[in-house]
Amino acid sequence: MKCKTRIPLLLVFLFFVTGFVSAGNTSYNRMKFSFTLSGHMLFGLGYEYGFDEHHAVNLTVFPLLIPGKGLPYALSAGYDYYFKGENWKPKIGAAFTLLVSPPDPDKRKTMPMIVFTPGIQYLSQKDSFLSQIWVAWFLKKARFPVAPIGLEFLYGREM
């Protein structure tokens, strides 16, 4: 197994272990809707499992349908740490993200990356509003190996 393959697998494993170790009685499930401004406008549907008020793991799928062109997409799985706060909570997070673009099969490229996601969340009862920046470390050869690549806005509803 190449080093570039082991790093994302190790990070995902560590994120889930961290969450399970901190699991308590204050867990929650949240469905999330995402809008990301990047090379494409990405609309996503996600799920977040919070182990307590600080630790959460998430999975988001970003399908983008272009009529007659195909389906470019992104898939992201990661871990978030929320700092203390009443309604406003700063957060840091990291995710393994796979972008597939553009929709033309002859020009299609896959871009695996580790994404660092600092942001801020506003909580009100069962609703959450989150904005975060994607700062990516590309795992394939890239012109700039580390770069900010997106701004994401999420709305979540606790189930």
Q: Are 32 and 46 in contact (CB under 8 A)?
A: yes
71-110 per-position pLDDT tens digit: 667 889 999 999 998 899 999 999 999 888 766 667 777 8
φ, ψ (nearest 5 deg) of residue 34: -125, 145
The pLDDT assigned to 66 comes to 61
Q: Does a structural domain hold residue 51?
A: yes
Beta-bridge partner residues of 139: none
Q: What is the CATH number of the domain that holds 122?
A: 2.40.160.20
The number of domains in the chain is 1
CA distance 1 to 150: 30
Q: Does a structural domain hold residue 69?
A: no
Lowest mean pLDDT among 33-47, 56-70, 91-105, 141-155: 56-70
Q: Does a structural domain hold residue 126?
A: yes
Q: Does a structural domain hold residue 68?
A: no
Domain coverage including residue 20 = 3-63+75-158
